[in-house]
Chain A
């Protein structure tokens, strides 16, 4: 077994509904969906965020899209216009989740290693 970061297995987008942030997590390779289901549980996500998420964590499966949706309740300091946070609308909560470490079989680690990050020798500037 080896540890990879979730960012190597999945991509994600997040948004808000009041004081709740949502994170939609989508695996790059369908074969990795069971790993995400097993490893990225609501309890594990709650433990990952600690006091960043004051309320419960809910998880919904979208097997059809090989994706899961997390609702992180009480994550946005009141949310919207009330919140004092830089990320008042939870736009980048997804990236904080993608930091999570995940134990995977060696062959999976080998396949996904380095994914989700700008490749060596490339920059974001395409000019």
Chain B
């Protein structure tokens, strides 16, 4: 059944949760646990989040910028595919514990096929004994693929936000187009009784602040509260990056990363929250780990734009409460922009990367000589590329000229050559020119057992803006009974 259009709920309403009777956590707080930072993250982490202590919500982020195009390709081959299947396998495992503990799950695992994802999750729920006791909410309306021509024809050029080019320039190569939706449809699904909410392209942060807005009854014009939720969501959305993983501050002193605890947001109705993790887990939550995650993928910190609010990250106040608890408060927000962000994926040519390993003495000199020979052969073959990149992994691949000149006693170095172009045949021919260097170039070369490099189609990202008024009326929320 279709229960609501996003945005149909207005103004303030009575909080859905006037206060939790905590099991060792402060009364009146809501705990949203982060369980996946990307599609491919630690499979055991969400299980630990559900079983390792008290939480109210589990949020799972599966979508990166180009994930949608991969899913679109899967759906074009199989109309029942196009979502993160890992999520269904996970729900098979955690459905019983979620039912028993009253934990709700919010995820963007639906990809380009949220309805099919929800159907599969409902089936998993019945298999796990949740029949008649759970509901899966489905958010749709983010997929603009079928509307693209209509939108372009009616004055929505979808210009590239970085280059200013109109989408018409690449229209015939578009693979997917999805608009980032905010928290309103998530709240509508929860209001309709969903215990699991599956979305397509939602903002990562909405998966955390949606539950908070719903539990606390935050009005949609309570900018500071919503902005606090956005900051909580930003901290929560990359898994262990907030709790000791990938932390550059004295990384060697962070305990037990093998059993790293993923972050938990413990929020209060007034917008203050604590970042923490389950007791007994590894990793660390302190000012350093939280600050690093706040700055991750940051643009202008005073304007963190979401569909529901613009959050000002320069207003964040942190306090280390000790015991892997960091308090966050003071956050200010302001009304959102009239636009929503669209993520378009399009086919942009082909690329291939080949590698060989050269050994002492003069490893780097040999690798560079090999690269010169390879380029000369590509020239003689008349192959043209948009880009040829030569890197020495083990010397300059990540620090470029800052690494200086390589010493002659370097034990080994990996030569890595990449090419990119619109002509697939040229890229294909390049992949056959790497291995011959083993017998026809400088000596002491190895590491070619992996075989010929693979030609990859480039599916590139095209960020654009669209007037929210042409999107929001089409956003719908359905509920599937388990």
- List residues of chain A with CB under 8 Å of any chain B CB: 11-13, 15-19, 22, 24-26, 28, 48-52, 60-65, 67, 69, 71, 77-82, 84-87, 92, 94-96, 98-99, 116, 118-119, 122-124, 126
18 contacts between A and B (CB under 8 A): A13-B296, A16-B297, A17-B297, A18-B463, A24-B298, A26-B291, A60-B298, A60-B300, A67-B291, A69-B295, A79-B461, A80-B65, A82-B420, A84-B387, A86-B398, A87-B398, A92-B398, A116-B248
Within 8 Å CB of A65, what residues of B? 291, 294-295, 316, 318
Contact between A99 and B399, CB atoms less than 8 A apart: yes
Interface segment, one of B10-18, B55-63, B389-397: B389-397
Within 8 Å CB of A62, what residues of B? 295, 301, 313-314, 316
- Please measure, in the bound complex, the distance between the C-alpha atom of A48 and the C-alpha atom of B391, giving whole angstroms: 19
- Please measure, in the bound complex, the distance between the C-alpha atom of A49 and the C-alpha atom of B302, giving whole angstroms: 26
Nearest Cβ on chain B to A10's Cβ, whole angstroms: 9
New contact pairs (13) apart from A62-B301, A86-B398, CB-CB < 8 Å: A13-B295, A17-B297, A24-B295, A26-B295, A52-B401, A52-B402, A64-B316, A78-B387, A84-B351, A84-B418, A94-B248, A96-B398, A99-B402
Within 8 Å CB of B255, what residues of A? 126
B369 within 8 A of A: no
Which residue of chain A is the closest to B460 with respect to CB atoms?
A82
B168 within 8 A of A: no
Within 8 Å CB of A116, what residues of B? 248, 250
A13-B248 contact in complex given A63-B314, A96-B398, C-beta closer than 8 Å: yes
- Please measure, in the bound complex, the distance between the C-alpha atom of A95 and the C-alpha atom of B300, giving whole angstroms: 21
- List residues of chain B with CB under 8 Å of any chain A CB: 65-66, 162, 241, 246-252, 255, 288, 291-302, 313-318, 330, 348, 351, 353, 387, 389, 391, 393, 397-402, 416, 418-420, 458-461, 463
Nearest Cβ on chain A to B127's Cβ, whole angstroms: 36
Within 8 Å CB of B295, what residues of A? 13, 22, 24-26, 62, 65, 67, 69
Nearest Cβ on chain A to B371's Cβ, whole angstroms: 13
- Please measure, in the bound complex, the distance between the C-alpha atom of A64 and the C-alpha atom of B286, giving whole angstroms: 16
Within 8 Å CB of A86, what residues of B? 391, 393, 397-398, 416
- Identify B298's interface contact among A22, A61, A79, CB under 8 A: A22
Within 8 Å CB of A98, what residues of B? 248
Which residue of chain B is the closest to A96 with respect to CB atoms?
B399
Contact between B299 and A17, CB atoms less than 8 A apart: yes
Q: Label chain B's interface by main secondary structure.
A: mixed
Contact between B292 and A13, CB atoms less than 8 A apart: yes
Within 8 Å CB of B397, what residues of A? 85-87
Contact between B398 and A81, CB atoms less than 8 A apart: no
Contact between A96 and B400, CB atoms less than 8 A apart: yes
- Please measure, in the bound complex, the distance between the C-alpha atom of A25 and the C-alpha atom of B301, giving whole angstroms: 13
Nearest Cβ on chain B to A66's Cβ, whole angstroms: 8
Contact between B401 and A50, CB atoms less than 8 A apart: yes
- Please measure, in the bound complex, the distance between the C-alpha atom of A15 and the C-alpha atom of B238, giving whole angstroms: 12
Which residue of chain B is the closest to A63 with respect to CB atoms?
B314
Contact between B292 and A26, CB atoms less than 8 A apart: yes
- Identify B301's interface contact among A28, A60, A96, CB under 8 A: A60
- Identify A18's interface contact among B162, B246, B250, B393, CB under 8 A: B162
- Please measure, in the bound complex, the distance between the C-alpha atom of A48 and the C-alpha atom of B249, giving whole angstroms: 22
Q: Which of A24, A65, A84, A123 has the most CB of B within 10 A?
A: A84
- Identify A11's interface contact among B288, B296, B315, B460, CB under 8 A: B288
Q: Which of B293, B314, B348, B353 has the most CB of A within 10 A?
A: B314
- Please measure, in the bound complex, the distance between the C-alpha atom of A63 and the C-alpha atom of B241, giving whole angstroms: 22
Contact between A84 and B420, CB atoms less than 8 A apart: yes
Within 8 Å CB of A77, what residues of B? 387, 389
Which residue of chain B is the closest to A97 with respect to CB atoms?
B402
- Please measure, in the bound complex, the distance between the C-alpha atom of A17 and the C-alpha atom of B15, giving whole angstroms: 37
Contact between A85 and B296, CB atoms less than 8 A apart: no
- Please measure, in the bound complex, the distance between the C-alpha atom of A69 and the C-alpha atom of B296, giving whole angstroms: 9
- Please measure, in the bound complex, the distance between the C-alpha atom of A84 and the C-alpha atom of B65, giving whole angstroms: 17
- Please measure, in the bound complex, the distance between the C-alpha atom of A24 and the C-alpha atom of B318, giving whole angstroms: 16
Within 8 Å CB of B387, what residues of A? 77-78, 84
